[in-house]
Structure 1
Amino acid sequence: MPTRAPVNGYVSHWFDELPFSRGPLPGSRDADVCIVGAGYTGLWTAYYLKRADPSLRIVVLEARFAGFGASGRNGGWLSGLVPGDRERMARRYGRDGVVAWQRALNDAVDEVIAVAGREGIDAGIVKGGTLEVARNAAQASRLAAAVEAERRWQVDGIEPLTADEATRRIRLDGVVAGYHNPHCARIQPAQLVRGLADTVERLGVAVYERSPVIEIGAGRAVTPWGAVTAPVVLRATEGFTAALPGLKRRWLPMNSSMIATDPVPEQVWDTIGWQGRETLGDTAHGFFYAQRTVDDRIAIGGRSVPYRFASRIDRDGRVPERTIAHLTATLHSILPQVADVPIAHGWCGVLAVPRDWEATVDFDRETGLGWAGGYVGHGVTATNLAARTLTDLVLGRQSPLTRLPWVGHRSKSWEPEPLRWLGVRGMYLAYKAADWHEARGARRTSPIAVVADKIAGRPH
């Protein structure tokens, strides 16, 4: 077995070296639009606003550097996954609106690919779809239900797979069933966010890094180096939202962790396949997500320490050693072929989870304040759709995007501590117990997980 210790933290493996930091805000200034956060949401919004109206003076403020948060740490799934529960949203806002939302997200996959091509952003994009697999009977029952759900929501191209058909794509161990969804592309996340930052600067957007916003109010965003005064202020802070005054319980910063192997030797790839570069996931409650990277590594992630007390966040991506061990064991269980390939890097980051697990886009024309986020881990594509929607809202344009059901959606706040820590910890302990139960022969979803989903309000 490999014995070399992996690099731990330093934001993520996607940053092969940390970017040269742009300068901070050089004192107070005026703008037409101030965007707080230089991740995907903030940069996409700056891009579409500037393209729509080149005269706009747009300032983006970032606490560290562009892509420091989830945009530079995620699993690299540019997918049409809905950041919420379609059934619940349909009950509240109508089925047709949710179908339109799903179609818009699928279309957004191609929109990101098109913009990257047009702007010369090399993000390692390969649209190979997603391979979802089941490794026991209970997982297979959920997978079959997921196939039917995708078809009900008019997602085209869903292909159920037998075990043999799934393993012809990727020679995984212990697969009993699978399905392929074409609406996903593998990307290198940091290359996309770096490319977006460079692109908006070329368009004339001012991006200031090392400029943490300590207060957001109508008409202004305040940093230690000065304030930006603007009639429109947009919050794009996702997992870091809880650090802002008055927003401690708005969105919970959920932790997700990843590891990446050394480059896998060609002869080992010959035993694995994975020629289509599909993204890969499973239907366990403590699920994993993975990709074959641009440089032929395997990157795999999951939830190990899902939440830190009082909404604390990680220290520059440093992850507990037990999490690296857990993800390594998961990788070796599905792909024993790479048991002798060292783990190069482990890291983690936070994503935002609203209390009802439903993302939102909103803009208050009276105050000029807007926001988007709460993507529950499905934000790589949703950020693009959210940004185009925010652009229409800010510019006062009625469009099909402004009528989508997440526009104006409001979630209640999370419970105060210690209730939210106990609740999240209990939920994931329940999922762990449910996976243990199902791995030992349960034919259907464990009732432990069903109860946990109901209590947490999580989509299932």
Structure 2
Amino acid sequence: MNLLDAVRSNIEQEFSWWQRDARSVFGSNTQLPLSGTIDVDVAIVGGGFTGLWTALVLKERQPQMRIAILDAYRCGDGASSRNGGNVHGYWGALPTLLPIFGTDKSIDAARLGTLAQIRLREFATAPGRDVWWVEEGYLRVATSPAQVQKIQEFIRIARDLGVDSTLTRLPQTELRNLCNSPRFLEGLLFSEGATVHPARLAYALRQAALDAGVQIFENSPVKHVRKGSPNKVETAHGAITARDVVLATYTGTMGLGPVARTTTLFSSFPVMSEADPEYLEKINYSVARGLADLRMFTHYFRRTKDGRILMGSGSGPLELGSAHNSEKLRRDPASAQRAATGLQRFFPGMRGGVVASWGYPIEVTSDRLPYFGTLADARIHYGSGYSGHGVNATVIAGECISSLILNQKDQWTTSAFCARTRMTFPIEPFRFVGGTMVRDAIVRCEDAEDAGRRQPLIAQAISNLPRVMGMRVGTR
């Protein structure tokens, strides 16, 4: 069996600001590439957050288990070191989850996210680790009257479910004490939320895996994964035989049929500002709390330890089928400019400009929840669909995939993260063409709302098509 499409990765060599900063502190030494043939219990393809957490969880549950990680470059150099570093679970996703999963499964998913948050905190705050962990909640802000209505809906749902202790509504006067941007009208503070330096976290996880006895082979791109008993993972200069294989390749799993049918490719583009801690103190943005507005294609942002602002736009281009190596998912001037415009709009007093920008593809499942599974005819496991919020979700991945490998029926494998029926997307090219039309229409409508203008009628009609068609994703 050749699963080349599911494991091939083409990481651009333009590093994120996070990666450059981490390299300046820790260096860029790599583990030796795979050479020759070895036999292990579990071979993990991909050394990002998913692969590293899975290895660590397996080692905790079965310390004698033989585990090897293969990475095409250096562990963590893919999506893991290119995200915004906002860390939060699924309490804020309840309005999206409830119509799909119902009350019990939705709250269960949120509670598992809380367990993941606890594990992240314990790891990040252990002695000797400096990953810029700051846990001050997660703030959603309304920047238009339409977004204020969304806050009201959040509050109503939380009260109806009896989970309103997870959030606090902040009128503008109180919001100004946390971040006094002239664009913020109202806020919703979720008690569960943190920020982290994602590249430093990747370095720490990598070191922890090495310390636990996990074999790591870097600069070892996988050429083939051959199904069998055992499975065989091949690189240019070696091979690994393993009872279980984990495909922890993020968007690379779009090459798998079960993933491709229920997942689509988007992209996200952040920019990083010059440091201006004096201005941030002046507007009361004194702690590195993560924020996002309430657009569907959000602006997500946070300050850094040294007084910068990362501003990201989740409205990048889509791509056809499983083409996760597409250049436009990594370089799109319009998306980068949208993030830079958001930075200027929300923080007009920041001195200096943008010092770095980058982009990367993200997977979005048809119901917006990650999924972890096993191929029907093989002991080959995978994780997919993080929707750009993978710091917390990859901890869940480690627990879920480990339980699948160990054939354990527990709170992880019986949850919606592993046990659910997912709606399939239309076949290509209808998925790409329709998705692009709806994405562009929603961006135009939300831009109009932010500017206080009427939404264009044609764009409004197109943006409502997913809801009219009964779809669960792409609806406002």
Q: Compared with structure 1, are the counterparts of its residues 34 and 421 closer, same or farther at alpha carbon in structure 2 (3 Å cutoff)? A: same
- Cα deviation code 1:212-266 (max 9, x no counterpart): 22333342223233332111111112222235699665633321000001111x4
Q: Does 1:224 align with 2:236?
A: yes
- C-alpha deviation, 1:344, in angstroms: 0.5
User: What is the aligned partner in structure 2 of residue 376 from structure 1?
Assistant: 387
| Farther off after superposition, 29-38 or 225-234 | 225-234
Q: Equivalent residue of 1:233, what SS?
A: strand
Alpha-carbon contact 1:31-1:57 (below 8 Å) kept: yes
Q: Does 1:335 find its partner at 2:335?
A: no
Q: Given the alignment, which residue of 161, 164, 174 partners 2:173?
A: 164
Q: Give 3-state SS (helix, strand or coil) of 1:138's partner.
A: helix
Q: How does 1:278-297 map to 2 (within 5 A)?
A: 278-297=289-308
Q: 1:249 to 1:25 in 2, by over 3 A?
A: farther
Which residue in 2 is equivalent to 1:277?
Answer: 288
- Establish whether residue 10 from structure 1 lines up as the match of residue 25 from structure 2: no
2:108 to 100, 113, 129: 100
CA contact (8 A) 2:43 2:240 kept: yes
1:361 matched to which residue of 2? Answer: 372
* Distance change (3 Å), C-alpha of 1:215 and 1:87: farther
Take 1:305 and 1:411, find their aligned partners in 2: how far apart are those partners? 24
Alignment of 1:43-54 (within 5 A): 43-54=52-63
Query: Relative to structure 1, is the Cα distance of residues 314 and 299 closer, same or farther in structure 2, using a 3 angstrom cutoff?
Result: farther
Q: Which has the higher contact order (CA 8 A, sep 6+)?
A: 1
Pairing 1:190–2:190 present:
no
Match of 1:313 in 2: 325
Deviation at 1:303, TM superposition (A): 2.8
SS in 1 for 2:132: coil
**What's 2:252 paired with?**
240
Identify the residue that residue 125 of structure 1 maps to in structure 2.
133
My pick for the range that moved more, 150-159 or 299-308, is 150-159
How far off its partner does 1:412 sit? 5.4
| Aligned residue in 2 for 1:347 | 358
Displacement of 1:454: 5.6
Q: Deviation at 1:156?
A: 2.9
Cα contact 2:298–2:315 (8 A) shared by 1: no
Task: Identify the residue that residue 202 of structure 1 maps to in structure 2.
Answer: 211
Q: Secondary structure at the match of 2:169?
A: strand
For residue 325 of structure 1, what is the amino acid of its counterpart? Q
Q: Quick one: structure 1 residues 117 and 177, their matched pair in 2 at CA, closer, same or farther if it must change by over 3 Å?
A: closer
Deviation of 1:298 (Å): 0.4
String of CA shifts for 1:140-166, please: whole Å, max 9, x gaps.
111221233344452633101111211
Report the Cα distance in structure 2 between the residues aligned to 1:220 and 1:316, rounded to whole angstroms: 33
CA offsets per residue over residues 72-109 of structure 1, 9 Å max, x none?
11110110137794124424xxx323212211102311
1:457 aligns with 2:469: no
Match of 2:88 in 1: 79
Q: Give the number of aligned pairs.
A: 447
Cα gap change, 1:147/1:379 in structure 2, threshold over 3 Å: closer, same or farther? farther
Q: Cα deviations across residues 129-188 of structure 1 (Å, max 9, x unaligned)?
A: 111111211111112212333444526331011112112210112222111011110100
Q: CA deviation at 1:315?
A: 5.4
Contact 2:54/2:402 (<8 A) preserved:
yes
Separation in structure 2 between the aligned mates of residue 9 and residue 224 of structure 1, nearest angstrom: 21
Give the share of equivalent positions with the same residue, in percent. Answer: 25
Q: What is the match of residue 79 of structure 2? A: 70
Query: Structure 1 residues 415 and 62, CA, compared in 2 at 3 Å: closer, same or farther?
Result: farther
Q: CA deviation at 1:27?
A: 2.5
Residue type at the aligned position of 1:129 = G
Structure 2 CA distance for partners of 1:245 and 1:429, relative to 1, 3 Å: closer
TM-aligned CA distance change 1:427 to 1:69, over 3 Å: farther
Is the CA contact (8 Å cut-off) linking 2:155 and 2:164 kept in structure 1? no
- Once structures 1 and 2 are overlaid, which stretch shifts more, 130-139 or 420-429? 420-429
Closer, same or farther in 2 for the Cα pair 1:243/1:364, shift >3 Å?
closer
Q: 1:155 to 1:34 in 2, by over 3 A?
A: farther
Q: Is the 8 A contact 1:212 1:223 kept in 2?
A: yes
The question of whether the paired residues in 1 share the 8 Å contact of 2:437 and 2:462 is answered with no
Mapped to 1, the partners of 2:463 and 2:171 lie a distance apart of 26
How far 1:40 moved relative to its partner?
0.8
Q: 2-side partners of 1:286 and 1:312: how far apart? A: 20
SS in structure 1 of the partner of residue 18 of structure 2: coil
Is it true that 1:38 corresponds to 2:52 in the alignment?
A: no
* 3-state SS, counterpart of residue 396 of structure 1: coil
Shift of 1:419: 2.3
Q: 2:184 aligns with which of 134, 154, 175?
A: 175
CA RMSD of aligned residues (A): 2.8
Deviation string 1:5-36 (CA, Å, 9 cap, x unpaired) is xxx97131111265333222112321100111
Moved more, 168-177 or 361-370: 361-370
Cα distance in structure 2, aligned partners of 1:337 and 1:135:
17
Cα-to-partner distance string for 1:388-445 (whole Å, 9 max, x where unaligned): 12222322333222221221335355444432321221121111222144343569x9
TM-score (norm 2): 0.86
Read off the aligned partner of 2:188 and give its amino acid letter: Y
CA drift of 1:203 comes to: 0.7
| SS of residue in 1 equivalent to 2:317 | coil
- Cα distance, 1:335 vs. partner? 1.1
| Secondary structure, counterpart of 2:359 in structure 1 | strand
SS at match of 1:107: helix
**Take 1:319 and 1:184, find their aligned partners in 2: how far apart are those partners?**
29
Counterpart residue identity of residue 70, structure 1:
A
Aligned to 1:5: none
Listed one character per residue, the Cα deviations across residues 108-136 of structure 1 (whole Å, up to 9, x for unaligned) are 11211102233743210000111111121
1:418 aligns with 2:426: no
Contact 1:215 1:244 in 2 (8 A): no
State yes or no: 1:392 paired with 2:433. Answer: no
Shift of 1:195: 0.8
In terms of mean alpha carbon deviation, does 40-49 or 245-254 score higher?
A: 245-254
| Structure 2 unaligned residues grouped into runs of 5+ | 1-11
Aligned residue in 2 for 1:255: 267
Cα distance in 1 for residues equivalent to 2:13 and 2:237:
28
